[in-house]
Amino acid sequence: MRRSERLLLTPVLGVLAAVALAGCGRTQLVTSTLPDGAPTVQSAHHFDVVRITSGLDRPTYVGAAPGDPHALWALEQPGRVVRLEGDEHVVALDISDHVSAGTETGLLGVAFHPGFATNGRLFLHWSDLAGDTRVAEFAAHPDRRSFRPSPVRELLFVDQPEANHNGGQLAFGPDGRLHLGLGDGGGAFDPNRTAQDAAQHLGKILAADVDAEVPIWEPVVVGLRNPWRFWIDPALEELWVADVGQDQVEEVNRVRLEPDEPPKNLGWSAYEGTTRITDQELDPGGELVHPVATYGHDEGCAIIGGVVYGGTQFPELVRRYIYGDFCAGTLWSLRGTPDGGGTDVRPEVAKVPQLTHIGEDADGELVFASANGSIYRAVPVAAEPHRSPG
Ligand SMILES: [Ca+2]
């Protein structure tokens, strides 16, 4: 039996002042009045979350694989790729003998080739036993449900000066290249000045043509501190990058993919959020792009980037960007504006504790990974929230 557990979550801050039904009635807007004259915050209740499985070892990813519509796939930080069908967990690949897993190290990113169903190509990003960055390609067995244990080929090695700020995300872009997010290498305020140095891989989103005989990694975006998660919108050819901040500010960035232009610059470590850090140089090469949304460390500690919702279960969420915070478990959504900005930021009533990844199933519906070992799914708001579902 699949276990489901509805999480009943209430706003952490403020006094519930009003509840209004919006749209077709499936979304509740909840207005909270904060003490001491603080501005009013309007929460949204677009969905609830239920735990759909547990017992994973620090999952860092959950999503779907092309050609496998009924399963979810997860990464475990110590080094395993796991296929999930209900409560059945099957280890499809185990590279844990080659992975060091700490707070920010481990198996951090996965991308299935867009043609995975026919070619079985899988790409992984992890921290090796020395804590350095590795990206490699693996090959699936013919059933596409497990993998040969040795990589087909290594695609990237980057020496890591510190254990933190390793980035993580892997994803294919609309140009067919594999994209990778790498942090500044670690330490406070980018001590090695990597993020604004276009010649270094650290502090960048990179892309490589993995069909080439010798893939070359080139910068797509510079000026990043720790892009743990980004998402590529194939329709608008945009990157949504969530960059984890230093002492004060967590950032949502929206960047147009323009391969003929110099890489856009998200500003770190010359900027944290929109605040200029005066003793740090800014590379003058590409356009400086400021975040479309930020929040401070009074509301969380590390941003977890998500996706622009493209499913059908929650009509009011369509084309809204979903993101969250690891420490607070808060989920927010915002609406992109036609000029490339973002507006109408709303915290959700539902939360996911120790959130590490926001993904999509094969239908584009929202799934969430938590470092507590569980995978959660967004479900419609229950008419009677105290009754357990189904
Ligand atoms: Ca590092």
The Å distance, Cα 284 to ligand 1 centre, comes to: 25
Distance 184 CA to ligand 1 centre (A): 7
What is the 309 CA–ligand 1 centroid distance (Å)? Answer: 31
215 within domain boundaries = yes
Query: How far apart are the CA of 333 and the centre of ligand 1, in A?
Result: 29
- How far lies 314's CA from each of 42, 309, 330, 344, in Å? 18, 9, 18, 17
Report if residue 58 sits inside a domain: yes
Domain that holds residue 287: 51-378
pLDDT in tens, 84-122: 998 899 999 999 999 999 999 999 999 999 999 999 999
Report if residue 7 sits inside a domain. Answer: no
Q: H-helix or E-strand containing 117? A: helix 116-119
Distance 341 CA to ligand 1 centre (A): 30
- Whole-model pTM? 0.89
- For the residues 262-281, what does the mean pLDDT come to? 94
Q: How far is the CA of 185 from the centre of ligand 1 (A)?
A: 4
Q: In residues, how long is the chain?
A: 390
Give the pLDDT confidence of 329-383 residue by residue, as tens digits. 999 999 999 999 999 999 999 999 999 999 999 999 999 999 999 999 999 998 6
Omega before 4 within 30 of 0, i.e. cis: no
The CATH number linked to 111 is: 2.120.10.30
Measure 225 CA to ligand 1 centroid, in angstroms.
Answer: 10
Q: Tell me the residues surrounding ligand 1 (ion) with CB < 5 Å.
A: 160, 162, 165-166, 185-186
What are the tens digits of pLDDT across the range 153-163? 999 999 999 99
Using the mean position of ligand 1's atoms as its centre, give its distance from the Cα of residue 161 in Å: 6
Overall domain count for the chain: 1
Residue 160 lies in a domain: yes
Does residue 16 lie within any of the structural domains? no
